[in-house]
Structures are given as C-alpha cells and as structure tokens.
C-alpha cells in the first residue's frame, strides 16, 4: 500500500524449518526434489519481488543456524495478499499440508516485516526480526499472518 508523499513498502518474510532427517536422506527426498520447482512458482507469482538464493538449485546450502537440518527461506513481496496467494493457492500449499512428514514443529518459524521499496533484507536483519518476535510477540517491527500490521513508511 502506497501512501501519498511516502515510499512504497514491501513485505519481507523469513521462514525456517528443521528437517526430521538429514537433507540427503530418502525420507525427505520428495521435498528436496521439489524445492526448485516450488521456488520457481514463487518467482513467477503475482507480487513476488526477490528471494534469498545461492548457487545451489534448492538453496538448502544457505545456513543461518549451526544445525545443518535447519533450512531457511527469505523473500520480499508486494503485499501480504501476494505472499498468501503463493503460499495457499499454488503447489506450495500441497507441500505445507505435508510438512509434518518432513519437519519438526517449531513454534516461531515465520516472521514478516515491512521494508522500503528496493531494500533487500539481510540475513542478519531477518534473524533479528525472528528473535524479536520470539521474545516480544507481534508488533510493527516483526509480525505474523495471525497478527499483522499495515505498512507505514519511515518519515
């Protein structure tokens, strides 16, 4: 949502998941084999702006935690609605429904926050937002789908 006289804000998100199995094990092979496909759908989705990636096709080499079984996904979207559209109205939804087959339950596995148009969030920034949310609960600084906040550009 753009405000007259202010920069447009975009939605950044970080989500993490801890695999029940080593990432090269047969038990999680189906999930890993489809990461590139699902990420491709994200990149073609309405409202997609950017996602964290490296040279590997499935991005599981990006490590923000000491545990190699914790995988991360970080992206920027035009709005909460565009991110929800990808998450709940594409093939991504089918994999979310099956997440308990592959991943341990993590209470605070998603954080959302607003960034100014053109800002690419850093991994440090994303972890700071996730930790803040875990310690303090939802606020304009870090929130979730359940308790979200409207974008307000810095003056």
Q: Round the average pLDDT of the chain to a whole number and report it.
A: 91
SS3 of 103, please?
A: strand
Residue 57 in this model has a pLDDT that exceeds 50: yes
User: Cα–Cα distance between 140 and 106 in angstroms, integer?
Assistant: 22
Could you tell me the two tokens for 155? 């003056």
Q: Which residue has the tokens 């109205």?
A: 89
Residue 51 in this model has a pLDDT that exceeds 90: yes
Short-list 12, 31, 17, 11, CA closest to 109: 17
User: Cα–Cα distance between 59 and 12 in angstroms, integer?
Assistant: 18
pLDDT attached to residue 155: 54
DSSP bridge pairs for 16: 72
| List of domains in the chain | 9-136 (3.30.70.100)
């Amino acid at each position: 949502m753009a405000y007259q006289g202010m920069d447009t804000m975009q939605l950044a998100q970080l989500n993490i998941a801890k695999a029940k199995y080593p990432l090269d094990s047969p038990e999680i092979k189906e999930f890993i084999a489809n990461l590139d496909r699902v990420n491709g759908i994200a990149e073609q989705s309405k409202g997609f702006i950017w996602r964290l990636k490296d040279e590997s096709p499935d991005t599981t080499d990006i490590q923000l935690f000491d545990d190699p079984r914790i995988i991360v996904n970080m992206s920027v979207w035009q709005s909460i609605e565009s991110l929800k559209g990808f998450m709940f109205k594409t093939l991504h939804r089918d994999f979310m429904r099956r997440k308990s087959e592959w991943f341990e339950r993590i209470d605070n596995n998603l954080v959302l926050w607003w960034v100014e148009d053109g800002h690419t969030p850093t991994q440090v920034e994303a972890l700071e937002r996730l930790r803040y949310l875990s310690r303090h609960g939802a606020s304009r600084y870090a929130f979730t789908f359940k308790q979200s906040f409207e974008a307000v550009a810095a003056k």
